[in-house]
Amino acid sequence: MMDTTNTAINSVGFAVLFLMILLLYAQLPHKKVRWKLFKSKNKDFSIAEYEAFIFQLSYSLHFLSKHKIGALVVIENVDNLKKYVSLGYSVTAKLTSELLITVFGNKKSALHDGGVIVRKFNVISVSSYFPVTQKIMTSTYGARHRSATGLTEETDAIALIVSETTGNISYSKKGKIHALEKENLDVLCDNLFELLNFYIN
């Protein structure tokens, strides 16, 4: 009888301890935990570099969205996008919000059309053009969405899109369009952190 009682007490104690751990974890600053994991997995980048990259990218999309300025930003993954770089203007520049806003902000400029290609933390091409999907899409999607879908049908890149009509921010992955946060910059930063996790894995 005593053994059964002790076993029951131990089981309850373990359950309570497990619940406490879950509650404590829920209160942790998860973003900081993710940065720590990032540092341990990828020695090529510092925490500060990755954090700056995510913020600059997020701020750019947020700004362009608020002003309903269309944009297409392609993030290279494993598949090399060299052939698409040759279809635009090859550059080598660190990605900054100023650069992206300048490229897309002037609607009369030739650079406004087409897309930007990003490799690691650098812009390697502007005004690049991509294959347009052949599948039927709703009328709410324009040329940028069709190009983003076409490219991500053929490669593992992730294409970020800002709609010039609605200001909506979305992304295309594996040929499918998904919505992203456009109102709250902090939430958008978190969205992009999760979306671009191949940088840290």
* pLDDT at residue 8 greater than cutoff 90: no
pLDDT in tens, 117-169: 999 999 999 999 999 999 999 888 999 999 999 999 999 999 999 999 999 99
User: Which two structure tokens, joined as six digits, stand for 73?
Assistant: 């930003």
The reply to whether 12 falls in a domain is no
Please classify residue 99 by burial: count the beta carbons closer than 10 Å to its beta carbon, then call 0-12 exposed, 13-18 middle and 19+ buried: middle
pLDDT at 43: 56
Q: What is the extent of the structural domain holding 52?
A: 47-199
Asked if the structure places residue 122 within a domain, the reply is yes
CATH code for the domain in which residue 107 is found: 3.40.1700.10
Mean model confidence pLDDT for the chain:
83
pLDDT above 70 covers a percentage of the chain that reads 77
pLDDT of residue 48: 81
Q: What was the pLDDT predicted at 109?
A: 82
pLDDT of 106 strictly over 90: no
170 within domain boundaries: yes
Chain segment 22-57, per-residue pLDDT in tens: 444 444 344 444 444 445 355 567 778 888 999 999
Do the domain assignments include residue 102?
Answer: yes
Quick check: pTM over 0.95?
no
SS3 content of the chain, % helix, strand, coil (to 5): 50, 20, 30
Q: 126 in a domain, yes or no?
A: yes
As a whole number of angstroms, the distance between CA 46 and CA 56 comes to 16
Per-residue CA distances from 189 to 30, 66, 182 (Å)? 13, 16, 10
Q: What is the mean pLDDT of residues 69-87?
A: 95
| The pLDDT of residue 20 is above 80 | no
Q: Quick one: which of 95, 103, 118 has its CA closest to 69?
A: 103
pLDDT tops 60 at residue 178: yes
Domain count across the chain: 1
